[in-house]
Structure 1
């Protein structure tokens, strides 16, 4: 079997982010792969700065990582009923690069949040943000990790059987999509 290259994107910059833990857990459940967690510490998008200085090297590196990956796993927190500004900023910047790195790229979207809906609204908004890029977003199983700070053990592994089962199924679907 091929050793696929996965890129993970977490919409949270927090060191103990449950979205980052969820992306890492997804990669673990995916199985053997080359996994890279994207660095979304990017400057805020500013058209004037882009016109003066071009696309920052960190943004180009991120776009190149998207292009080089066999698939991308994105997890977003829910901030005020939507995805984080960090994630939206990264998507906006990537859209300014050449080569359309998202086109036909298999993408698994998930969310982790403190609330009981597990970031469901943020995930739906994120899916809408992705439409112009024309990736192949998997439609399910949907992962909305509720009460996320209480869903991982000390190793960063999910503890809820249903979440493990659904995330494993999502990663199997992602493998199938890559193989097409």
Structure 2
């Protein structure tokens, strides 16, 4: 099985990159291949650019997603919604023929100082309906009060949350297996 992650935050020490490092550690223990796709260099979506051909970095990222059995989106909440960089990437991916989210299992995870990205995750679920992705319903990984759960490098240190992410990944793997049948 192959799983690909995307962070909706570009910061070097982002807690969302830290979530993906936690995901990587869990999946490594299960013998599952995990890679993270970088969306930071994508141009702003523009149909005129798309008409000239998909940018190389978008095409490469999409190829990784297309080869995956499942996807993990780890993203903060900006202004009660999805981050601009993640929304931009999803807009690009939605324009690719045979777009990679179609029919795939997706787990959404996020952390924040407050409510744990709940509003952003609900907006992501709406976007993923258009992409025909199948989102893991439970457990929802909304890490509230994140300040005390991550270190200065953005690594997740809270053992309960680390274990909870493991449960979410078990659900993701189960859903991905069901969708393969």
TM-score, length-scaled by structure 2 = 0.89
Residue in structure 2 matched with residue 43 of structure 1 by the alignment: 43
Unpaired runs of at least 5, structure 2: none
* Residue of structure 2 equivalent to 1:23: 20
> Whole-Å Cα distance in 1 between the matches of residues 100 and 49 of structure 2?
22
Deviates more, 1:99-108 or 1:76-85: 99-108
| Number of the residue aligned with 2:97 | 98
- Deviation sequence 1:30-53 (CA, Å, 0-9, x none): 3322211111021100112222x2
Is there any run of 5+ residues in structure 1 with no aligned partner, and where?
A: none
Instruction: Tell me which residue corresponds to 1:60.
Output: 59
Shift of 1:157: 4.8
- Which secondary structure does the structure 2 equivalent of 1:178 belong to? helix
Q: TM-score, normalised by structure 1?
A: 0.90
Instruction: Between 157-166 and 120-129, report the one with greater CA deviation.
Output: 157-166
Total equivalences in the alignment: 175
Question: Would the aligned equivalents of 1:11 and 1:77 in 2 still touch at CA under 8 Å?
Answer: yes
Q: Deviations over 1:120-139 (max 9, x none)?
A: 11111111111111112100
Query: What secondary structure is seen at the aligned counterpart in 2 of 1:102?
Result: coil
Which of these residues, 11, 14, 33, is aligned with residue 14 of structure 1?
11
